[in-house]
Chain A
Amino acid sequence: MCVLAEEGYTGTADVKAFLAEHHGLALSDVDGHLYHHLNEEAIRHLFRVSSSLDSMVLGEPQILGQVKDAYGYASEFKSIGAVLDKFFSKAFSVAKRVRTETKVASSAVSISYAGVELARKIFGDLKDKTVMLIGAGEMCELAARHLLNAGVKGIMVTNRTYERAVKLAEEFDGTAIRFEEMVSHLKTADIVISSTGSPHFILKRDDVEEVIRIRRNRPMFFVDMAVPRDIDPDINDIDNVYVYDIDDLNNVIETNLEERQKEAGRAEEIVVTEVAAFRRWLDAQQVTPTIVSLRRKFDEIREAEVAKAMSMLGTDDPKTRKVVEALASSILNKVLHAPVTALKNDGNGRDPMELVAVVRELFDLTDGGKDCE
C-alpha cells in the first residue's frame, strides 16, 4: 500500500490515522509497517517502484501494473491533482525508459517462466505444441498455465489417481490420461512437465528413445520438477531431446538474476537523472518563482505596448510618455493584484501547487519546467 499526498495537503500523521481507522487497527500497529518519503526521496521512490528496482524480484513487470491501477483508481475518484498527475505519467515514462534502455527485465527469473523461455528456444512458436503434465504440484500447474498463455495447442494430464487427473484436466480444458497409458501417449507430447512423488525414475532412456524414433526426431522438452527425479537425466543425451530438472532451472534463473543485477546500476542512473529533471520542474511550480515569472511576462508586454503606443502617437515628448507608462502600469497592477494575492495566500486553503499549475497554464508560463516536458 502506498499513499501519495501533495505538499500542504495533509500531514503524515493524518494519513496514518486514516489508515488505522480504515482498517480498524490501533495506530501503533500500523506505524511499524509504514515508511514515508518526502520531496526528492518520494520522487525517487515512485520512480524506482514503477521501474521495479524496488521489488523483491528485480525487474518484475507486475509492479508497474499495480502502480497504474492505483493511478487509475485515484483519477476515477478525482483525488489526483495536476502535479500528482504529472508525477505519475513521468513515473510511467521512467519505467518505460528503464525497460527499453536496460536489460533489467529481459530474461525469465521464475522457474515456470524459465521453462517457457526454454521451450521457445527449442520450438520457436508454441502454437501447435502439446503439453503433458505428469503428476500435480503448484510449480507444475504454474508452468502449464504459462505455457497456455504462450498459446500451446493442448494439454494432457496424467496422475496415479485418475480422478485427480480428470479434475486438473477440466481446469486446463485438457484431456485426462490413465497413468498406465502415459508412455503410449508420450509420442504426441512435445513438452512434458513432471512432478510425481515417485521414488524412482518414471521415464527411462529406452522409453524415450523409442518415442523419439516414432516421432521421427521431432524434438521433445522434458521439465522435471520432482525431487527425487522422475526423468532419467541421461535422456538429455538423446538427439533432439532436452531434459531440465529443477536444479537446472534454478541455475538458469540465477544467471538471469545476476545479469539483472548488473543492469540495475544503469537503471539507477536513469532514475537519478529523471529525478533531477522532475525536481527542477517541481521547483518551478513553487509560488515565488511563479509570481516572478508572471511579473516578468507582464512587464515584457507592458514595455512592448508602451513602445508601440509612443510610435503611433508620433511624439517623443517625455510628458506624454510618462502618462502612457503610468496608464499601462496601473492597468497591469490592478489586473495582477488578485492572482498575486491568491498565490501569496497559499491558495486560500486550496492546494497551492494546484493553483500554481492553473496560473502557469492560464498565463502560459513555460519557463523553468522545460527539462521535464
Chain B
Amino acid sequence: MQTLLLKSTTATYLVGALLYLYFIVTLKERGARLGRMFLLIGVVMHLFGFGMRFAEAGHTPITNLFESLSFFALVIVGAFLATELRYNLRVLGAFVAPLAFLFSLLSAFQKSELQSLNPALNSSWLPVHVIVLFIAYAFFAVQFAAGIMYLMQERQLKGKHLGAIFKRLPSLDVLDDINYRCLTIGFPLLTIGIITGSVWAQDAWGTYWSWDPKETASLATWLVYAALLHGRLTVGWRGRKAAIVAIVGFLLVVFTFLGINLLPAGKHTYASIAR
C-alpha cells in the first residue's frame, strides 16, 4: 500500500510539472494554479506514504536508493512550494517541478521492497543526518534552477534580443536573491549534515573522518558552497558568477548523492544503484 502510494506520487509530480510547463508556454494562470495543486496533492500523498512506510519498517525509511530518491523528490517539491510562496514566482515551477519528477522517476526504477535495516544504520543519527542533508540538497536544487533561469535571462539582456524568454522570466534581481536565500538555508544545513555524519561515524566506525568517496565528495561540495557564501559576503559575488557556482555546486551534490554509488565500494554504499 505505502509502496503504491509512494510510486503514484511520480505520476502526480509529472502532471504538476506538465501543468507548469503549459503555464510557462501559454502564460495561462490556470496552468500554474492547477500545477501547484497537483504538487500539493503529491506532497500530501508522499507524506502519508512515508509515514506508513516508517510505521511498517520501524525506522526512518531513507536507507536505500528507492527511498532516498523518492524522499529527494519530496523535499525538492517542498522547497519549491516554500520558495514560490515567498516570491510568488510561478515560472520557477517550470524548472524545478521537472527536476523533482526526474528524481521521482529514477526512484520508480529501484527495488522498492522493504529490507531489514543494515545494523550499521541502526542509530538515532539516521533521521537527523539524512533528512537535514536532503533538505539542504533540495534548496540547492531550487538554487540550481534559479541559476539556470538567471543565465537565460542575462543572455537575453546582454544579447539585446528580447524574446519570449525575456517576458516570461523574472528580473535578474529576484533570481539573484533566490540564489542568496537558498544558500543561507542550504549551507548551514549542509554543514550540520556533515557534522552529524562525522559524529555518527565516530559512534559507528570509531573515526570521525575516513576519507571514503562519499565523505570526500561531500567535503568538495561543502567547499564550493562555502566559497560562494564567502564570495557573496566579502567580495560581492553575485549575478552570473553566483549562478554558475550554484549550478556547479548542485552538479556536485548529485554526484555525491548518486555518482559515488557507481564507484567501487566505500563505506556509504548502502544505497547502491540497481544494475
Binding site for B on A (CB under 8 A): 106-107, 118, 120-125, 215-219, 236, 239-240, 242, 244, 248, 251-252, 255
Could you tell me the distance between the alpha carbons of A326 and B127 in the complex, rounded to whole angstroms? Answer: 93
Q: Within the complex, what minimum Cβ distance (angstroms) separates A129 from chain B?
A: 10
Q: Is B172 an interface residue (CB 8 A)?
A: yes
Q: Are B160 and A252 in contact (CB under 8 A)?
A: yes
Contact flag A217-B237 (CB < 8 Å), given A121-B157, A242-B157, A252-B160? yes
- Interchain CB contact (< 8 A) of B166 among A121, A215, A216, A251: A121
Nearest CB in chain A to that of B177: its residue: A124
Q: Are A255 and B170 in contact (CB under 8 A)?
A: no
Q: Are B173 and A125 in contact (CB under 8 A)?
A: yes
- Interchain CB contact (< 8 A) of A122 among B161, B173, B238, B240: B173
Could you tell me the distance between the alpha carbons of A239 and B237 in the complex, rounded to whole angstroms? Answer: 10
Q: Are B236 and A121 in contact (CB under 8 A)?
A: no
Chain B residue numbers with a CB within 8 Å of A107 are: 167
Could you tell me the distance between the alpha carbons of A219 and B240 in the complex, rounded to whole angstroms? Answer: 11
- Interchain CB contact (< 8 A) of B171 among A122, A215, A236, A252: A122
Q: Are A248 and B160 in contact (CB under 8 A)?
A: yes
- Interface bracket on B: 20 to 34
Q: Is B263 an interface residue (CB 8 A)?
A: no
Q: Are A216 and B235 in contact (CB under 8 A)?
A: yes
Q: Within the complex, what minimum Cβ distance (angstroms) separates A237 from chain B?
A: 8
Q: Are B239 and A124 in contact (CB under 8 A)?
A: no
Chain A residue numbers with a CB within 8 Å of B173 are: 122-125, 219
Nearest CB in chain B to that of A212: its residue: B236
Q: Are B237 and A121 in contact (CB under 8 A)?
A: no
- Secondary structure dominating the interface of B: helix
Chain B residue numbers with a CB within 8 Å of A236 are: 158
Could you tell me the distance between the alpha carbons of A106 and B164 in the complex, rounded to whole angstroms? Answer: 12
Q: What are 28 of the A-B contact pairs (CB < 8 Å)?
A: A106-B167, A118-B157, A118-B162, A121-B153, A121-B171, A121-B172, A122-B172, A122-B173, A123-B173, A124-B172, A124-B173, A124-B174, A124-B177, A215-B236, A216-B235, A217-B237, A217-B238, A217-B239, A218-B236, A219-B239, A239-B240, A239-B241, A240-B238, A240-B240, A242-B157, A242-B158, A244-B160, A248-B160
Chain B residue numbers with a CB within 8 Å of A248 are: 160
Could you tell me the distance between the alpha carbons of A215 and B174 in the complex, rounded to whole angstroms? Answer: 18
Most chain B beta carbons < 10 A, residue from A120, A215, A240, A242: A240
Query: Which 7 pairs across A and B sit closest by C-beta, in order of nearness?
Result: A216-B236, A124-B173, A124-B171, A217-B236, A248-B160, A240-B239, A121-B171
Q: Within the complex, what minimum Cβ distance (angstroms) separates B174 from chain A?
A: 5
Most chain B beta carbons < 10 A, residue from A107, A121, A242: A121
Could you tell me the distance between the alpha carbons of A180 and B237 in the complex, rounded to whole angstroms? Answer: 31
Q: Are B162 and A255 in contact (CB under 8 A)?
A: yes
Contact flag A123-B160 (CB < 8 Å), given A216-B235, A216-B236, A240-B239? no
Q: Within the complex, what minimum Cβ distance (angstroms) separates B232 from chain A?
A: 10
Chain B residue numbers with a CB within 8 Å of A219 are: 172-173, 239
Could you tell me the distance between the alpha carbons of A120 and B237 in the complex, rounded to whole angstroms? Answer: 21
Q: Within the complex, what minimum Cβ distance (angstroms) separates A110 from chain B?
A: 15
Could you tell me the distance between the alpha carbons of A255 and B162 in the complex, rounded to whole angstroms? Answer: 8
Chain B residue numbers with a CB within 8 Å of A215 are: 236
Other than A121-B171, A239-B240, give 18 A-B pairs with Cβ distance below 8 A: A120-B171, A121-B153, A121-B157, A121-B170, A122-B171, A122-B173, A123-B173, A125-B173, A215-B236, A216-B235, A217-B238, A218-B238, A219-B172, A240-B240, A244-B160, A251-B160, A252-B160, A255-B163
Q: Within the complex, what minimum Cβ distance (angstroms) separates B207 from chain A?
A: 42
Q: Within the complex, what minimum Cβ distance (angstroms) separates A188 from chain B?
A: 16
Could you tell me the distance between the alpha carbons of A242 and B239 in the complex, rounded to whole angstroms? Answer: 13
Mask, B72-111, CB within 8 Å of A = 1, is: 0000000000000000000000000000000000000000
Could you tell me the distance between the alpha carbons of A121 and B239 in the complex, rounded to whole angstroms? Answer: 13
Could you tell me the distance between the alpha carbons of A118 and B173 in the complex, rounded to whole angstroms? Answer: 12
Q: Which B residues between 203 and 247 are near A, CB-CB below 8 angstroms? A: 235-241
Q: Within the complex, what minimum Cβ distance (angstroms) separates A212 from chain B?
A: 9
Most chain A beta carbons < 10 A, residue from B170, B173, B174, B240: B173
Chain B residue numbers with a CB within 8 Å of A244 are: 160
Nearest CB in chain B to that of A244: its residue: B160
Chain B residue numbers with a CB within 8 Å of A251 are: 160
Q: Within the complex, what minimum Cβ distance (angstroms) separates A226 from chain B?
A: 18
Could you tell me the distance between the alpha carbons of A244 and B166 in the complex, rounded to whole angstroms? Answer: 15
Q: Are B239 and A239 in contact (CB under 8 A)?
A: yes
Q: Are A123 and B171 in contact (CB under 8 A)?
A: yes
Could you tell me the distance between the alpha carbons of A264 and B259 in the complex, rounded to whole angstroms? Answer: 52
Could you tell me the distance between the alpha carbons of A122 and B166 in the complex, rounded to whole angstroms? Answer: 11
Q: Are B174 and A122 in contact (CB under 8 A)?
A: no
Could you tell me the distance between the alpha carbons of A218 and B239 in the complex, rounded to whole angstroms? Answer: 9
Nearest CB in chain B to that of A120: its residue: B171
Nearest CB in chain B to that of A239: its residue: B240
Q: Are B160 and A124 in contact (CB under 8 A)?
A: no
Q: Which B residues between 133 and 153 are near A, CB-CB below 8 angstroms? A: 153
